[in-house]
Structure 1
Amino acid sequence: MVRKKRALKAGIAALLAGALTAAAGPARAEQPVYDFGVLPQVATAKVAEQWVPFLDKLSEMSGVKLRFVTAPNISEFGARAKAAAYPFYYHNTLAYVQQDDQYTAFAREVGAKTVGVLVVAKDSKLSRLADLKGSTVAIPSAGSFGAAVLPLFAIQKEGGLDLQKDVKVVVAGSHEAGYQAVLQGKAVASGGLTRTFELLPKEDRAQLRILYTTKAYSPLPFAARKDVPADVVAKVQKALVAFAKDPANKGILETLNMKQGFEAAKPADWDDVRHARDDLVRVTKTLANGK
């Protein structure tokens, strides 16, 4: 068992070096290899550890060769996704609805929602959003839907604070880095997701508490670029839906914190985000203008 774990870590380290560079399309080979871009919500090494076994098994089940790729940080991943660098991706919900001319969502996590949180130190005296006036708030990236846009929108609308004048917003680079900024006293609060907060080590999570939880929206989509053949997408979708039905995959799903598995989806399933898009995009523009 120890040897297997060491071998897996060594393999992931080697793979990650190549995974940080996204290809523009399927690699030329006897059977096409499709890059599958995964949003780096946590450290890239941890993303690889979580997703490489999953994508390897998904490739086996679907008969479609999928190659894990990511980016050094969320902002860079977003730039590559906007440039349609990934044939498949698991990406930011708001970014997807802004890119649905290039990508089509085909699956989603069963029972999941995108729920943003604002996390503070456990012993913090803050009790409401307005109390954040004059504070430093960390976010993973300016375009991170659940972990930045939703919490900042709440600070602005419900807390009555000006994002440029009343708080100092700093970009941490990942959800994990944002939580660490609070633990290290570099930020009073950090935006995140309920999912990534639950993935924190118990000792870290015990030192933090959730100050605010946002409204729930549709979850991060599994989407394919529109030039990926329909039969290829259908095979991947079928394998995703069947994934949780195989008891042998239980450990992989637990590592991903997606224990219930996946279900087929259609673009209209993200209409709740489309309806709120204009208001939410204004938050990202406000941040950009403040730089």
Structure 2
Amino acid sequence: MSILTIKLLLIAFTGVIAGCNNNQSKSIESSNESRLTKNTVKDCAGEHSAEAKLRTVSIVPQFSASRIHSDYWPLLTEIGKRTNICFKLDQQKSIPSFEVGLKSGAYDYAFMNPYHQVMVSDIYQPIIRDKQRLLTGIIVTNKGSNINSVQQINGRTLLLPAPNAFGASLLTRAYLDKKNIKFNPKYVKTHQNVYRGVARDSELIGGGVNNTFNRESDELRSNLSILVETPGYPAHPFSALKELPPEEIKNVQNAWIMIAKDSNSKDLFRQVQIKIPIKANYNQDYAPLKNLRLEKYVQ
């Protein structure tokens, strides 16, 4: 056998081996994609067909991730089925972490506080809000404490969920600032932590909002008193990333409204703090918040 023939045989053999390896690699990649798809289906709420669009949703972490998941999953499932979308919850452990995602447009949809919407109005548009419910900031005390006037807050520790929580922190801090009352802020991540901290310690005071306070158990609320309540403003919007297809945004918005017309769906909306969903309008509902001049308190 000539040297040229041997070389040609070696080249052919090498090609066969490479082809087998490539086929094996493609098989592995295909298998991985299949597993990823199956896992994604398990992790998202809504339509699970091959044609469904996968979208991320993040909810401002006023409560624990497990509670947010149980509250939102049923409604997102129903919306997704009507819009051919599967919603994947992308929950953050703290409000500051949630804000980082908002500012970078990391979520396709988000439930955010009113001032968040002002902060990211160039990235997100509000599409749904509650028709009747207004958001108020509240300052709560332990019912067993001797604190019965705002002046007694001076020099005390005030529990707050996060620096930029609209009602719980921005509104309450602005209120106390106007009264020239100094306090020591302590940020404890969630509204739940604020209420539980004040309920355990009669020396503490906390900032929250009417909506989250009213969702706490009767037992917890029986240990707390509302010392101050601010004026009300349109509550948290459910907002969409402006880069999404306009038709999709409109379909999601309409799905909220249509589902709400079903009397059997009331529990779905009560759980997500939007009892009577209506279409939101940024200029009318949230732009006026700029006049509150809260930017001096934003961190």
Q: What's the TM-score bracket when you normalise by the shorter of the two chains?
A: 0.7 to 0.9
Q: Provide the secondary structure at the position in 2 that maps to 1:215.
A: coil
Cα distance, 1:184 vs. partner?
Answer: 1.8
Contact 1:116–1:214 (CA under 8 A) maintained in structure 2:
yes
The CA distance in 2 between the partners of 1:95 and 1:252, in whole Å, is 24
Match of 2:141 in 1: 120
The CA distance in 2 between the partners of 1:205 and 1:177, in whole Å, is 13
Match of 2:5 in 1: none
Cα distance, 1:180 vs. partner?
Answer: 1.0
Partner letter of residue 174 of structure 1?
T
The CA distance in 1 between the partners of 2:177 and 2:298, in whole Å, is 12
**Post-superposition CA distance 1:140-167 (Å, at most 9, x none):** 000101111101111111x312xxxx31
1:262 matched to 2:282:
no
**Post-superposition CA distance 1:75-127 (Å, at most 9, x none):** 21111111110111110211111111111111111212221111111122222
1:210 matched to 2:194:
no
Contact 2:51–2:84 (CA under 8 A) maintained in structure 1:
no
> Across the two proteins, how many residue pairs are aligned to each other?
254
TM-score normalised to the size of structure 1? Answer: 0.82
Match of 1:35 in 2: 56
Match of 2:189 in 1: 173
Match of 2:120 in 1: 99
Cα distance, 1:272 vs. partner?
Answer: 2.2
Contact 2:53–2:84 (CA under 8 A) maintained in structure 1:
no
Cα RMSD of the aligned pairs, angstroms, is 2.1
Cα distance, 1:258 vs. partner?
Answer: 3.3
Match of 2:151 in 1: 130
Match of 2:99 in 1: 78
Match of 2:298 in 1: 284
Cα distance, 1:181 vs. partner?
Answer: 1.1
Max Rg structure? 2
The CA distance in 2 between the partners of 1:124 and 1:186, in whole Å, is 5
The CA distance in 1 between the partners of 2:271 and 2:58, in whole Å, is 18
Match of 1:10 in 2: none
More helix by share: 2
Match of 1:274 in 2: 290
Partner letter of residue 34 of structure 1?
R
Q: Provide the secondary structure at the position in 1 that maps to 2:121.
A: coil
Contact 2:143–2:224 (CA under 8 A) maintained in structure 1:
yes
Contact 2:52–2:84 (CA under 8 A) maintained in structure 1:
no
Match of 1:190 in 2: 206
Match of 1:199 in 2: 215
Partner letter of residue 194 of structure 2?
G
The CA distance in 2 between the partners of 1:129 and 1:32, in whole Å, is 51
TM-score normalised to the size of structure 2? Answer: 0.80
The CA distance in 1 between the partners of 2:132 and 2:241, in whole Å, is 24
Q: Alignment identity in percent?
A: 23
